[in-house]
Structure 1
């Protein structure tokens, strides 16, 4: 981990210079989605194909995450409200150019059952890096859709 980022908090999700927001409805309940996000951190590689390793640290207050291609993050959980929100800020990464980053997963029930999952990717970085991230929005969107669909299938197949 070569780069230490700014220690922003959850409100950064609303004030970040770059916010990429993706949403998808799934058949799983908000509680089931939350448990998969926050309580089964080691299970992330099973449904989020970009993730090669995810493990909780410090009793779940922090996480280590590795992605395909060698990207690494050390994160601190900044919000954990069962069935509602799970969010973390990146404290350290090997990604150049990023000054601050928070990812927020919002979950809300939908009429008739299921959940709406919204992922906000909030970043502060120099203008050139932000432009590159905006250009990569479609790829992040595909990764999010694929991950949430795989998570929904995983949760549907899990014993009750």
Structure 2
């Protein structure tokens, strides 16, 4: 594990590489926000590639492991109920990354939620190129994950 450059929220708009994806979910923003920010362990049940996620430091951080063995130790930068959830990666075993931040914006959308995920990164040119080439795969993973989250939230709502 190596330490990455600490970045703040504005990195989502200033990073050398920014990939953004959006999807509409049927659940209201409060429900989607709870799944993102409060049910960290639940990420492994809906986000493609996440093998394990646990909150750390009383919810101020996260320890995320991907199915391929990549690990991220993260700091939550903001948790604004029903609107915004963002975290930066502080330490990782992923090669090449210098800084990484993920931002999740929630906007009310006709009784549901418009969910926008921004993946903001910095690294050497070859890493940025590799991430650009991986954009279609990241987009597909996001769409699959958003659908899985939408189904999960709909099922939980029908059980209530």
Question: What is the TM-score of this pair, normalised by structure 1?
Answer: 0.97
Which residue of the partner structure matches residue 136 of structure 2?
138
Which residue of the partner structure matches residue 123 of structure 2?
125
Aligned residues: 158
1:15 & 1:49 partners in 2: Cα distance? Answer: 27
What does 1:83-102 correspond to in 2, within 5 Å? 83-102=82-101
What does 1:1-160 correspond to in 2, within 5 Å? 1=1, 3-110=2-109, 112-158=110-156, 159-160=159-160
Task: Check conservation: 2:48, 2:142, Cα contact below 8 A.
Answer: no
1:18 & 1:137 partners in 2: Cα distance? Answer: 11
Cα displacement string for residues 22-50 of structure 1 (whole angstroms, at most 9, x for unaligned residues): 00011011010000000000111111131
SS at match of 1:96: coil
Task: Check conservation: 2:49, 2:67, Cα contact below 8 A.
Answer: yes
| Distance apart, 1:113 and its partner CA | 1.0
2:13 & 2:120 partners in 1: Cα distance? Answer: 8
Q: Cα RMSD over matched residues?
A: 0.7
SS at match of 2:33: helix
Question: What is the TM-score of this pair, normalised by structure 2?
Answer: 0.97
